[in-house]
Chains A and B, each alone.
Chain A
Amino acid sequence: MMIPITRYSLLFPLIFFVLSCGENTTDSSIEKMQYATADVLELPELLVYSARKEHLIKPLFDQFTAQTGIPVNYVTDKAGPLLARLQAEGDNSPADILITVDAGNLWQATQVGVLAPLTSAVLAANVPSNLRDENNHWFALTIRARTIVYSSTKLAPEELSTYEALADAEWNDRLCLRTSKKVYNQSLVATMIAALGEARAEVVVAGWVANLALDPFSNDTKVMEAILADQCDAGIVNTYYYGRLMKSKPELPLALFWPNQQGDGANGRGVHINVSGAGVTRASKHKQEAQQLIEWLSSAEAQIMLMDLNQEYPVNSLVPLNAELASWGEFIADNINVGEAGLLQAQAVKLMDRVGYR
């Protein structure tokens, strides 16, 4: 019994040693961080809370730092948790900028009062008025078009017309959609409520659900893969997912269609667009530098980088489309203020629940 006991008793001091080492390491890291925050008082250093993924935003921050000398740190997460963090931190928040990938989230950030209004001639010139908050709390950085994708072997473009037409009986068992839990679909339905009214929008979405060939998918790429596997003829996706897929396999028989381009009223309202965008936090201690970063992100140079990184459309109309985006053709976009989607988002979610859109 004696031998094992001594051996075991060695184990625990060891664990505590590891623990204390670990604790020391964290301590010193925290000291370092506090040191860093203390430095901020003299040397501006921006902290961005970003729902845009690291690999889609870091190259831009690096470029900005190279040009201005202002370092940019960032924490990535989903928009909801980031917003909750901003709210909980209140005036003490170390964050200077919030970046999200959906207008609804930006609208919500404004509602809960974590964003500060900006006065910027640069942003007013670079960002069209329907792509920014009416009180200038946030500004779109990129446009994401959510459009119809179809199997080019099974369908001619003439058979497509509007989002609403996909609810017709002839589409029975031919449609694939992403889940209603994704904010992109919530925004799409929200703007449809704005255009058609809730009752008509509900009929349309119910029609979509009736026409589904398969249960909704967890992402847009899976929708396109189902179309390629002959499970359905058409679906609704963001164009950059199409771009990503076609980049790896250009020969795939998939094509984009721009719906709602002709006709009066809702029929001709244009393609649904959503945005990724940014705003300066109310608690920011470096509002000037934060504004400088957002202004730079709307500049032609940054807009080209954003476009090339993820095949999203630039908000700055002076920036010419790159070859790939241009190859998808021109389209009329719905010019409703994208913030409207936020206002109607909860209504849209409930509508989709009612008609059983999972």
Chain B
Amino acid sequence: MTRHLPALALLAALAALPFALGHNPYLLNALITTGIVTIAAMSLNLLLGFTGQLSLGHIAFFGIGAYVSALTSLGFDVELLWGLRIVHEPWPPVVGFGLAVLATAGCGYLVGRLSFRVRGAYFVIVTISFAEVVRLVALNWVELTQGPLALTGIPPFSLGLPGLGSVTLRTKMQNYYLVLVVGTLCYALIALLVRSRFGRAMRGLKENESLALSVGINATRTLTLAAVISAAMAGAAGSLYAHYLRIIDPDVFLFSTTVTMVIMVVGGGKGTLLGPVVGGLIFGLLPVALRPVMVPEAQWMVFGVVLIVIQFVMPRGIVPGLARLATRRHAPGGAPARMPAEARP
């Protein structure tokens, strides 16, 4: 289990953090939203880092998860074409969470099947387009989504324990631990996936696709499954977001949030387990640190510059960079253990 030692240490630190902060609501709020976006970044890493597919429409899954969960718990009454009317009475938020995961998994399947017909630049553009179409639907289907007026009064999560009654998560503290638990589960799931046969298939496709095909790996199936799991996880994060903020509008679909996730993944270290978590914490909390000294526009400029600089100085991200430093220190004579992959012919 020494492999997971850094992750467990980080988990312990995060579990103790609210006490160390002394219940500072502003910081706690920043931590919760950071945690939620970090879960989405972890899900993005499954595609971007482990299969090598740059999905720039990932926010669509997050937003769909948020809307499905919110609408399930709020209820709605819409009239479709030909007078077909659908009335939905409110269901508990936990059911909304489940439906959000299912719905986004389904969307992941569709986008996966569609997108993996096309690769590279086409894949990037089709994912962006998908997110924009969904945003425009959220903006224009006012009867269902209230459009720009936002869905308000979304109920918070209630966790029912058989025989023990139920708890409604109203405080920031409760929501913090909910996000931490869901985040830990997602991390564990990804860790298990990556080490499984399926994870090896993903790595094989990323490193050498023709060779992977020639040992019997089914590319479409593997990549679609990765998209489904990734989308479902982003949908779960969206659901957490909706029931924590309790108000959502079509801005949950903004491209800039996808960019934030990409910065978290790429900055932290794509294709590593801890990368998106470390990147998520750094770039999620960076605005908190920058807020006293600069306006949001300038913060965004910093983000843009960071994204550029990372590609030039630390293209593999922070976590692999640190890991390399650590192994170099442990290696006898301080020499790097072995030539990196660039040495291959």
Is the pairing of A and B real? no
